Amino acid sequence: MAGSMAPLTDEELIGMLAEGDENALRILVERYSASIYRFSVRYTGDESLAEDVAQEVFFRLFLHAKKFTSGRSFRTWLFTIVRNVGIDLARPYSHRKSFSVRLGKDSVGEDFAPESIANGSPTQEERMTAQERQRMVIEMLQDLPEKQRAAIVLKYYEDMSTKEIAEVLGKSVSSVEALLARGKRNLAKSLKL
């Protein structure tokens, strides 16, 4: 019988969470914790902060669950909270220049030349492992201004539309389009392209 039941929607779960239902919390965590983890690592550049961010996000979901209006997209509401928590928790460490992304043991080779990507030369790029590329991208993202970084991460890793990103950032669609273009231009500069 249980197998034939339709899964609870996010809206239903958030209603249950408002009443303190821990089962609703468990389901929401299962659905979104990986996504929040990945966003946090890319957004803050600090893997060790990601768990704190996720905990705080789900606790704030519980605290503000009654404020969620059913007409709104749950996902954009969730990522608005994730971004706010990321800003709050990353702020004390914002002065840091090096980031503690521990995704691979090896550092990026000194002979790596990012322009090879633009040249279409595969040799240098292919030498990089996937983990090294991962780390390099995350470190480059940290050099972007906050809104550009958020827009790029939501676009490329959360597959959000420009309209959804605009909702998360509280900006107009055209502002987000400009943020994305400026973000790419700055990333190209970081890559010395």
**Residue choice 83, 147, 149, 155 for contact with another protein (CB under 8 A):** 155
Question: Are the beta carbons of 142 and 99 closer than 8 angstroms?
Answer: yes
Q: Is 187 in the site for another protein (CB under 8 A)?
A: yes
Q: Is 84 in the site for another protein (CB under 8 A)?
A: no
Q: Is 102 in the site for another protein (CB under 8 A)?
A: no
Q: Specify the amino acid at residue 115.
A: E
Backbone φ/ψ region at 165: left (φ over 0), alpha (ψ -120 to 50), beta: alpha
Question: Are the beta carbons of 42 and 158 closer than 8 angstroms?
Answer: no
Q: Using CA of residue 28, residue 30, residue 35, residue 38, what is the dihedral sign?
A: positive
Q: Specify the amino acid at residue 105.
A: K
Within 121-150, which residues bind another protein (CB under 8 A)? 130, 133-134, 137
**Residue choice 26, 66, 72, 127 for contact with another protein (CB under 8 A):** 26
Shortest Å distance, C-beta 120 to another protein: 9
**Residue choice 9, 63, 88, 145 for contact with another protein (CB under 8 A):** 63
Which letter, b or e, does each residue of 1-24 get, where b requires 16 or more Cβ atoms within 10 Å of its Cβ?
Answer: eeeeeeeeebeebbbbbbeeeeeb
Q: Tokens in use for 174? A: 């055209």
Q: Name the site residues for another protein (rule: CB under 8 A).
A: 20, 22, 25-26, 29-30, 33-34, 37-38, 41-42, 51, 54-55, 58-59, 62-63, 103, 114, 117-118, 130, 133-134, 137, 152, 155-156, 162, 177-178, 180-182, 184-185, 187-188, 191, 193
